[in-house]
Amino acid sequence: MAKSRRTWISLWFVLSAAVMALDCSYLLIRPLSLPGGSLDWLYEPVYGIYSKVDISYGREAFERGDGFPNAQAFLSVIEAILGLYYVYLQNIVGSTSAPIFAFMVSAMTLSKTVLFFSHEYFCDWCTTGHNDPMTTFSLWFAPGLPWVIFPSLILMTYGKDIALALKTAESQRTKAK
């Protein structure tokens, strides 16, 4: 597969990892990050609002042992590490295997995000249903859309490249016979 610089993909993985680091740390260190916790001051500007919009991020869900947010955070840690590994392979090493990592991480991210959205639908809006529709859209749904759009674009971009590389390899193999 020909080496191709796709700066936007590397930027996405770096920015996404930064956002996921904030989100994962908030979830995985609860109750320290919750209101009244010793690290509340760090998270309050964002999660003071968000934990009221999506109550799975709040104290009540934590205290009843709702495991979905931490399971999601755990997967996000893996995604962030693999996404940054792509950046390393693509931009430092120049490895031809970098697109495989981008494809794999994007499939993981898209799947997890669709699961996150569909969970809410199938539980009858159990964590966001208390909001008015505009609040749910603007503070819950819309902020998650980049995790659908960018992974989809990366899957299409590298999917075409991978398919072309496989077709080229097959053609060369056939000619060699």
Residue 138 within a domain: yes
Compute the average pLDDT of residues 76-86.
Answer: 98
Compute the average pLDDT of residues 103-110.
Answer: 98
Residues of the chain with pLDDT > 70: what percent? Answer: 97
Q: How far is residue 90's CA from residue 84's CA, in Å, rounded to a whole number?
A: 10
Residue 98 within a domain: yes
Residue 101 within a domain: yes
Tell me the per-residue pLDDT of 141-160, one tens digit each, with 9 for 90 and over.
999 999 999 999 999 999 99
Residue 53 has pLDDT above 80, yes or no: yes
Residue 55 within a domain: yes
Question: What confidence score (pLDDT) does residue 23 get?
Answer: 98
**Cα angle at 74 between 71 and 76, to 5 degrees?**
110
Residue 79 within a domain: yes
Residue 21 within a domain: yes
Count of domains for the chain: 1
Q: In sequence order, what are the residues at sequence separation of 6 or more whose Cβ sits closer than 8 angstroms to the Cβ of residue 158?
A: 99, 102, 103, 106
Q: How far is residue 12's CA from residue 72's CA, in Å, rounded to a whole number?
A: 19
Domain, as residue range, for 58: 7-176
Residue 74 has pLDDT above 60, yes or no: yes
Residue 3 has pLDDT above 60, yes or no: no
Compute the average pLDDT of residues 97-120.
Answer: 97
Compute the average pLDDT of residues 73-86.
Answer: 98
Q: What do you get for the CA distance between the two ends of the chain, in Å?
A: 21
Residue 131 within a domain: yes
Average pLDDT value for the chain: 95
Q: In sequence order, what are the residues at sequence separation of 6 or more whose Cβ sits closer than 8 angstroms to the Cβ of residue 69?
A: 27, 56, 57, 61
Residue 2 within a domain: no
- 121: tokens are 């639908």
Residue 2 has pLDDT above 50, yes or no: no
Compute the average pLDDT of residues 43-70.
Answer: 96
Compute the average pLDDT of residues 104-120.
Answer: 97
